[in-house]
A and B are shown apart, each in its own frame.
Chain A
Amino acid sequence: MMVTLNLAVRNLLRNRRRSLATLVAMSIGCAAILLFGGFSANINYNMQTHHVQQGGHLQIQHRDFFLYGNGNPTAYGISDYQKLMAAIQADAVLSNMVLVVTPTLQFGGIAGNYAASVSRTIIGSGFVAEDVSRMRLWNDFQLPNKVKRFELKGAAPDAAIVGTGVARVLQLCDALKIERCPKPEQEAKEEGEALPDDIAKLSAQETPAGGAAPAAPGGQARIEVLVVNSRGAPNVTSVQVVRAEDQGIKELDEVYVMMHLAQIQQLVYGSATPKATSLMIQLQRSDQVPQALERLKPIIARFSASQPLTVLDFRTLNPFYVQTIQMFDTIFGFVFILIGAIVLFTVSNTMNTAVVERTVEIGTLRAIGLRRKGIRSLFVTEGALIGICGALLGVVLALVAAAAINSSGMTWLPPGNVEPLALTLTVWGEVPMVTGTAAGLVCIAVLSAWWPAYRAAQLKVVDALRHV
């Protein structure tokens, strides 16, 4: 084996220019695959971080809420969610993994700026601002992104955050100082019509003491939110919009409202026991999800006696995330196949040329007693050496290029994102991707060398010796 290896190395060094050209082609191919893989990995980490920051790793919900809850979310409330939270926090194993357990209440309704005589249907969520604020700090992948402050934290109990689309439709752009917020061509009325008496009365009842007047004058960021309460009756409250946040997706941006959990619970459940539609659980790391799921099973079973509950992970809750990752995985596979094919033909061409050039040598080696297998091994070893060196060089090249790009400060705006993200290529530390790609390319190089090697081994000794 050492004899073959020694001879293979020397044969490769003998035609340095050709070996180098093959090596460079292969290493650039390898680096290209790894850089794309690094980009793809970074998208995965960004999306995962975003979803985990927004909704946690796991959510405990009513069994049917995920599929049917959108139409009437409050019908799927978890009644004794505080006890469930306490049980999770008390679990010895879970308590070591869980960073945040927090309830959320999803609701649907109508938001109106009656001063401007505009309203629209909305969907919204009620949050515990302190908890959500903590959830937004999760950054297990050490991404260099800025942490977006959750404006409900420390805000008044009647504060709300709306999507910029909601603000635009409700004509709150000036009050919220939203840039690039075109007004409709038809002038909005200077003075809005008064609220219908019954709605105004309801709003006055629900508005916390010290709150602003139900029908705010034009230009003030105050809206009325009307929801159907748990008994089927309409309830309205006036909320102060403290901020408009772009939700990234237009359809969501035009309907989404965030409020304090306590306020929306008050609106929906009144004096009845408040419920939550989900318990969001954020873990320290994403790889703890399977273990946490197992641990949650008996707890969920205990609380499912009166209401069927289920636990969903962030992948199930965010099908778009899974689809995006699958799409990038598919593209990665496609890129690998394309570059693999180029490597295959490059190495194969190099080895075929080597066989033709060294035909007399092959005849000589066979004449002095080297078996066919020995000839095959020699050329396959040369292919493998090109593969190993090319892959190693490619890995180094990818690491250097990734480090250069990562430190360049370049940014990009991924689809669905509001703020530009740092262009980061995660190659370092992606051991399965790096080793898999390198091993795959080495295998392709060996495969490329196999056919020329086989051809060389099958040469008749006399024909090989006669070769000119």
Chain B
Amino acid sequence: MSDHEDEDAPASAAPQQGPVAVLSKVFKTYQLDSIEVPVIKGVDILVRHAKFTVLIGPSGSGKTTLLNMLGCIDKPDKGEITVAGEDVVALSDDALSDFRAKNIGFIFQNFNLLPVLSAYENIEYPLLLAGASAKKRGDRVPRLLKAVGLSDRAKNLPGQLSGGQRQRVAIARALARKPKLVIADEPTANLDSTTGAAILALMRRMVDQYGISFIFSTHDPEVIKAADDSIFLKDGVIQAIRRKTEQAA
């Protein structure tokens, strides 16, 4: 790995080889009016370090809820969640915010870029939140833009970018603070197949190149095909877990 690549890798990428996230006997129930709807029913998941993991299942199977809990933006009713070695269930709201900023990147189905900020500024924003110096930002953001192939679009607002370009910016933003885990909720759903394939290839490259763990929810067979680990979910229960390396072994 070159010096250049080292800088872009997550801070803990090199020494850490254990699971990046562990869900243990996690339950989640939603209240819809007066009806309680159990969404996750005692799920155990292990997300491996520097792997490409997908959550597969029909609509309403609980994929997004699981991703939200892994991304520390939702809490389980019962069970334990450990992300990057930290028991996140016990953390306060502010502590969770800080934890997310440091350890988790998000890629949304609708890209969710800030429309008033340019591509450059969207990628820079997490670094500004972290209080990164101007020099550090000036080094890192152009590199990320280059990595996602958008150096020439740095000044464009999201409204001036195509869907694929926006998703590339979103990926770069998710990687800006060198997270340990990137959560992606159907990242290719709003893209055409060619763009979707390009985005997938880009994310695959990020996993391989920077040692970041990606976890997706998806229905896209191409994404499923590209995954290292696949977790099949139905009615809030894990139906099967397939790990490529195990198969290979």
Contact = CB atoms under 8 A, between A and B. Distances in A.
Contact of A461 (B73, B105, B114): B73
A462 B116 contact: no
A461 B102 CA distance: 17
Given A461-B74, A462-B73, A465-B73, A369 B115 contact: no
A367 B116 contact: no
Interface residues of A, number: 24
A368 to B, nearest CB: 5
B143 interface: no
Contact of A369 (B108, B117, B126): B126
A16 interface: no
B129 A368 contact: yes
Interface string A1-33: 001000100110110000000000000000000
A198 B102 CA distance: 111
B100 interface: yes
Interface stretch (A74-82, A272-280, A358-366): A358-366
B173 interface: yes
Contacts of A462: 68, 73-74
A368 B101 contact: yes
A197 B172 CA distance: 116
A7 B122 CA distance: 11
A368 B116 contact: no
Given A11-B116, A465-B73, A368 B108 contact: no
A371 interface: yes
B93 interface: yes
B112 interface: yes
A364 B94 contact: no
Contacts of A360: 110, 112
Contact of B100 (A3, A11, A367): A367
A372 interface: yes
A10 B101 CA distance: 23
A370 interface: yes
Interface in A278-322: none
Interface in A369-406: 369-374
A261 B94 CA distance: 83
A372 B112 contact: no
Contact of A364 (B112, B116, B130): B112
Given A461-B74, A462-B68, A465-B73, A369 B112 contact: no
Contacts of A361: 112, 114-115
A370 B97 contact: yes
B128 interface: yes
B236 interface: no
Nearest to A458: B93
B71 A368 contact: no
Contacts of A366: 73, 97
Interface in B113-168: 114-117, 125-126, 128-130
Contact of A371 (B73, B97, B102): B97
B98 interface: yes
Contacts of B93: 371-372
Nearest to B97: A371
B106 interface: yes
Contact of B173 (A14, A368, A370, A373): A368
A458 to B, nearest CB: 10
B97 A369 contact: yes
Contacts of A10: 116-117
Contacts of B106: 364, 367-368
A7 B115 CA distance: 10
A424 B43 CA distance: 78
A465 B108 contact: yes
Contacts of A372: 93-94, 97
Contacts of B110: 360
16 contacts: A3-B125, A7-B117, A10-B117, A360-B110, A364-B106, A364-B112, A364-B114, A366-B97, A367-B100, A368-B106, A368-B125, A369-B100, A369-B101, A371-B98, A372-B94, A465-B112
Given A366-B73, A367-B73, A368-B100, 4 more contacts: A7-B117, A14-B116, A367-B106, A369-B101
